[in-house]
Amino acid sequence: MAIRYSWMSPRLALVPAIVITAVAFVGAIGWTLYISFTKSRRFPNYDIYWENFWRQYKRLFNDPNWDTAINNLIFMTIGSALAILFGFILAVLVNKEKTGEGVFRTIYLYPLAVSFIVAGIVWRWMFNPVLGIENFLIELGFENASFNWLADKDTAMWGVIIAIVWHGMGFYLALMLSGLKSINDEIWNAAKLDGISPWKFYTEIVIPMLKFTFLTCAILLSLGVVKTYDIVLAMTGGGPGTSSWTPAYFVVNAYATRGNMGYASSAAFMMLLITLAIFLPLVLLTRWQVKRRAREAV
C-alpha cells in the first residue's frame, strides 16, 4: 500500500505546476498567437481575418515605430554589453586586490536591489538640464557641457543605457567574481612561478576559461534588454517622440494605449521569436557543456 501511495503523491504534487505550465505558458503563448490573427481590438474578438491572414504582421513590419524598437534593441544590447565588460574588469581588480572585496561588492551591487522605476526616476532627475548634472558642470566652468541627453532623440538611448549599465553592472561583477573564484588557486600560483605577465595570463588563460560565464552573461543581458520597459517609461516615456521605444514598450503601448489587442499580440509573438533566437544558443551550449563534462569525468 505504502508504495502505491508514494507513487501517486509525487505525481499529484506536480499537478499544479503542470496545469500552470500548460495554461499560463504553453496555452497563453498559443492564445497570443491566435489573437494576433483575429480582429480583436480593445476586447477579444475571435474572428480570424481569413481574407488578410497576415494583416497584423504586415502592419507591424511596415510600422516605423516597430523598426525603431528593433533598432533600439540592437543598439541597447551592444551598449549594455559595457555592463559585462565593466563587470569583468571590476571583478578582476576586486579579486586581485582582495582588500575591501566585500565592501566594494556590496556597493557595486546595490543598484540591482532598486526597481527600474526608481532607477529611471533618479537618472531622469540627474539628466535634468536646468537643475541636474549639466547645471553642475556648467557651474564648475565647463560652459559647453551638455548632459541633456534625454531630450535629444539621438542621445536619449545613451542615457537609458547609462542607467541600465549602472543598474546591472554589479550583477555581472558578481557572476564574473564567482567565475574567477572557481579557477583553481594552484593555477594562479603556477602562473606566478612561471612569471607570466598579467595580460598574457588573463587573455590566454582566464578569459578562455570563463567563456561559458561570458556567454551566459551575454544571453542574460540580451534577454533582459528584450524585456526592457519600466526604465524607458520612467526616463523618457518612450520619447522624444517614439525614439526610445523598445519591443516591450511597443507591445504595452499597442495594448494599453492604442487598445489594439490583435496588433499587440503580433508584436508580443515577435518578441517570443526574438527571445528564442537568443535563447537557442544557450540551450545548445548547456547541452554541449554537459556532454563535455561527462567526457572529462571519464
Partner 1 sequence: MSNIDISQREFKHYPEKKRKIKGSSIITFIFLAMIAVAVMIPLYVIIVTSFKTLDQITLGRIFDLPTTWTFEGWNKAWSEVCSGMTCNGVKAGFFTSIKILIPSIIISVGLASVTGYALALWKIKWAGGFLFVLFICAFVPFQVIMIPLVLITAKLGIYGTFWAVAIVHGVLSMPFLTLIFRNFYKDIPPELISAAMMDSGSFWRIFGEIILPMSGNIIIVVLILVITGVWNDFLIGLTFGGFGAQPMTVILANTVITGTGAVRYNVDMAAALLTAIPPLLVYFGLGKFFVQGISAGAIKG
Partner 2 sequence: MPEIIFKDLVKQYGYVTVLEDLDLKVSDGEFLVLLGPSGCGKTTLLNMLAGLVEVTAGEITIGGKDVTDLDPKDRGLAMVFQSYALYPTKTVEGNLKFGLAAQKLPKDEVTKRVNWAADLLQIQPLMKRKPAELSGGQRQRVAIGRALVKNVEVFLFDEPLSNLDAKLRTEMRLEIKKLHNELKKTIVYVTHDQVEAMTMATSIAIMDQGVIQQFGSPDDVYDNPENLFVAKFIGAPPMNIIAATIAKTGDKIFAAHAASGVSMDLSAYEFTSEPADGDKVYVGMRPEHFVIGDDISGKEAAQFELPVLYAEKPGSDGSAYLDSGDEQIAVRVETAMVKVLQQPDARLKIAFPDDRFSVFDASTERRI
Q: What are phi and psi of 48, to 5 degrees?
A: -85, 145
Q: Answer for the pair 259, 41: CB distance below 8 angstroms, yes or no.
A: yes
What is the C-alpha separation between 91 and 114, in angstroms, rounded? 21
CA distances, 157 to each of 22, 120, 223 (Å): 37, 12, 18
What is the C-alpha separation between 292 and 220, in angstroms, rounded? 22
Q: Answer for the pair 281, 212: CB distance below 8 angstroms, yes or no.
A: no
**Nearer Cβ to partner 1 (51/86):** 86
What is the C-alpha separation between 288 and 15, in angstroms, rounded? 31
Q: Answer for the pair 177, 105: CB distance below 8 angstroms, yes or no.
A: yes
- Judged by beta carbon distances under 5 to 8 A according to partner kind, the member of partner 1, partner 2, none in contact with residue 26 is partner 1
Contacts of 119 (CB under 8 A, 6+ apart): 111, 163, 166, 167, 231, 234
Is 147 a binding residue for partner 1 by CB under 8 A? The answer is no
What is the C-alpha separation between 49 and 60, in angstroms, rounded? 15
Residue 250 burial (CB count, 10 A): 28
Is 144 a binding residue for partner 2 by CB under 8 A? The answer is no
Is 181 a binding residue for partner 1 by CB under 8 A? The answer is no
**Nearer Cβ to partner 2 (139/194):** 194
**Nearer Cβ to partner 1 (207/220):** 220
Is 74 a binding residue for partner 1 by CB under 8 A? The answer is no
Is 87 a binding residue for partner 1 by CB under 8 A? The answer is no
**Nearer Cβ to partner 2 (41/287):** 287
Is 28 a binding residue for partner 1 by CB under 8 A? The answer is yes
What burial class does residue 209 get, using C-beta atoms within 10 Å of its C-beta: 0-12 exposed, 13-18 middle, 19+ buried?
middle
What is the C-alpha separation between 258 and 235, in angstroms, rounded? 21
Binding partner 1 by CB under 8 A: which of 74, 131, 187, 277?
Answer: 131
Task: Name the minimum Å distance from CB 186 to partner 2.
Answer: 4
Residue span 263-292 as binding mask against partner 2, x where in contact by CB under 8 A, dash where not = -----------------------------x
- Judged by beta carbon distances under 5 to 8 A according to partner kind, the member of partner 2, partner 1, none in contact with residue 44 is partner 1
Task: Name the minimum Å distance from CB 213 to partner 1.
Answer: 9
- Judged by beta carbon distances under 5 to 8 A according to partner kind, the member of partner 1, partner 2, none in contact with residue 220 is partner 1
Is 284 a binding residue for partner 1 by CB under 8 A? The answer is no
Binding to partner 2 in span 167-226, by CB under 8 A: 184, 186-187, 189-190, 192-197, 200, 204-205, 208-209
**Nearer Cβ to partner 2 (210/254):** 210
Binding partner 1 by CB under 8 A: which of 41, 42, 96, 258?
Answer: 96
